[in-house]
Amino acid sequence: MAEHTGKGLVLVVEDERPIADLLRLYLSRDGFGVHVEYDGAAGLAAARRLKPVACVLDIALPGVDGTEVCRRLREAGDWTPVLFLTARDDEVDRVVGLELGADDYVTKPFSPRELVARVKAVLRRTAGPPDPSEAPVRLGPVTLHPARRTVTVAGAPVALTQTEFDLLAHLMRRPGRVFTREELLASVWGYAAHGGTRTVDVHVAQVRAKLGDAAGLLRTVRGVGYAATDG
Ligand code: CA
């Protein structure tokens, strides 16, 4: 079943067997161990038992759906990177609207190569222990603690996904600097835009929602992109 290799184990939860088989093939060809489950409850149990380095979750699953699997992991304090497989645009809206704590998503039909590239990108971003010597970054009421990978607003902790943290950190480290969506995609996600800059908007919206009263810290610069500013 699960085989561990140097790159770590990826958990795939997908009830469509041809897609699951394709993901197993491509991920293992790239050096990952792969464990596949075909329904949400088994997927959740496997995530808890096997401690994968990343989870690829289909949204529409029998029983417990993918969004619920992710929500339960996050609820339990598990911030393993999660990539969703979505079948339709309205599912993308659910990923966004429910603030599920996803790190990325791909819409079916997708290229298995692209999915593997995204898994690797999220792992690159979250690899290695944080540098304990890196000083906190403050902007307005928001403080970013790189050493702990945590964020507080007026002293109260905010639960961000790895991707949300990296996005906020990228913007806050250069306050006032305006980044295009393409720049953010390349720097934060680690891959070139395939016309897929919507994912940037989605994550900015999620971070703003979590910052609450401090949401204005992330400013939209119309026609250009985003900047972190203090008022
Ligand atoms: Ca499905």
Distance 125 CA to ligand 1 centre (A): 28
- Of the candidates 158, 70, 75, 163, which has an alpha carbon nearest to the alpha carbon of residue 122? 163
Report the distance separating Cα 32 and Cα 28, nearest Å.
5
DSSP 8-state code for residue 173: T
Distance 61 CA to ligand 1 centre (A): 5
Distance 14 CA to ligand 1 centre (A): 6
Distance 159 CA to ligand 1 centre (A): 28
Q: What integer pLDDT is reported at residue 91 of this predicted model?
A: 73
Q: What integer pLDDT is reported at residue 98 of this predicted model?
A: 52
Which domains can be identified in the chain, with CATH numbers? 9-124 (3.40.50.2300), 137-228 (1.10.10.10)
- Residue 222, sorted as left (phi over 0), alpha (psi -120 to 50) or beta, turns out to be beta
Model confidence pLDDT, tens digit, residues 41-67: 999 999 999 999 999 999 999 999 999
Report the distance separating Cα 210 and Cα 220, nearest Å.
16
- Where the chain has pLDDT below 70, the residues are 1-5, 92-100, 127-132, 191-196, 231
Q: What integer pLDDT is reported at residue 150 of this predicted model?
A: 87
Residue found under tokens 């992330």: 218
